[in-house]
Amino acid sequence: MKQTIMKLKRIPSNLLLLCLIFLVGCSTDSLQDEDISLRNLHEGDLMFVVKETSNPITDATQGINGLKIDHVAIFHHTDSADYALEAYGKAVSLTPLTNFLNRSKGKEGKPLIAVGRVIVDCDMNTSMKRALSYLGRPYDRFYMPDDKEIYCSELIQKSFVDYHGLPIFSTIPMSFHDNNGKILDAWTQFYAFYHREVPEGEPGTNPGQLSRDKAIKVNYEFETPSAK
């Protein structure tokens, strides 16, 4: 009789444990099933520009699943409009999202954008404030490690931090070479024109590398975004 009572007392705690396991499982499933796309952009989502043909950037770097990625921007929402926060052209700027998507269309007329969402511990409010603080900073066409000027993926790498202020994305040795380790002629000629050394191996980042980072989940349906 005593043993029966003890078993009955255990039931509530066992049920509670099962409920917790069930809820955690549901939470994980919902994260995995979350819609990551141009139809459902969240503040701080990364928008990777995919190319249909190769160029010196895609020849020297590797995007997720072999995609040719040569640019990345950050989705930024305000009460009045949606923007691509990007280091592009002359400086870091806020490009109206429609303009950014139109600029990224492929041959079939759809924006070739792979959307990445940070899935690790990230202080998004602080990260976006850091990214926005670079507005107006000149674009770094030489891809140097300092931040006097800044390039597209560097903007993300230097801005995104966790709740301890530590970077979400690490730097890697810069790559300007082909699969055989030879620096591409296009980069050799580019830097020679400006009497500079190719910064091969210098700490940095690139859009393709970010797309493969485990800190984000990437989706690339290449769909036409819904009008808002």
> Do 226 and 101 meet the contact criterion of CB atoms below 8 Å apart?
no
- For residues 131 and 29, the model is more confident at 131
pLDDT at 187: 98
Please provide the average confidence, as pLDDT, over all residues in the chain. Answer: 87
pLDDT at 34: 75
Mean pLDDT for the stretch of residues 157-163: 98
pLDDT at 33: 52
The type of residue at 204 is G
pLDDT at 25: 41
DSSP 105: B
> Do 137 and 92 meet the contact criterion of CB atoms below 8 Å apart?
yes
Question: How many residues belong to the chain?
Answer: 228
pLDDT at 223: 56
DSSP 153: H
Mean pLDDT for the stretch of residues 113-123: 97
Confidence tier at 156 by pLDDT (50, 70, 90): very high
Does residue 133 register a pLDDT over 90?
Answer: yes
Distance CA 102, CA 162 (A): 32
Q: Which range among 16-20, 95-99, 161-165 shows the weakest confidence by mean pLDDT?
A: 16-20
Instruction: Spell out a b/e string for 141-150, using b for 16 or more CB atoms within 10 Å of the CB, else e.
Output: eebbeeeebb
Does residue 158 register a pLDDT over 80?
Answer: yes
69-77 and 46-50 strand pairing = antiparallel
Record the tokens describing residue 51, joined without a space: 């190319």
DSSP 109: S
pTM (two decimals): 0.83
- Name the helix (H) or strand (E) containing 210: helix 207-211
113-118, strands of its sheet edge to edge: 91-96, 82-88, 69-77, 46-50, 113-118, 216-219
DSSP E strands, the chain: 46-50, 69-77, 82-88, 91-96, 113-118, 172-173, 203-204, 216-219
Domains of the chain and CATH, by start: 34-219 (3.90.1720.10)
> Do 197 and 173 meet the contact criterion of CB atoms below 8 Å apart?
no
224 phi, psi to nearest 5 deg: -80, 125
Mean pLDDT for the stretch of residues 51-57: 97
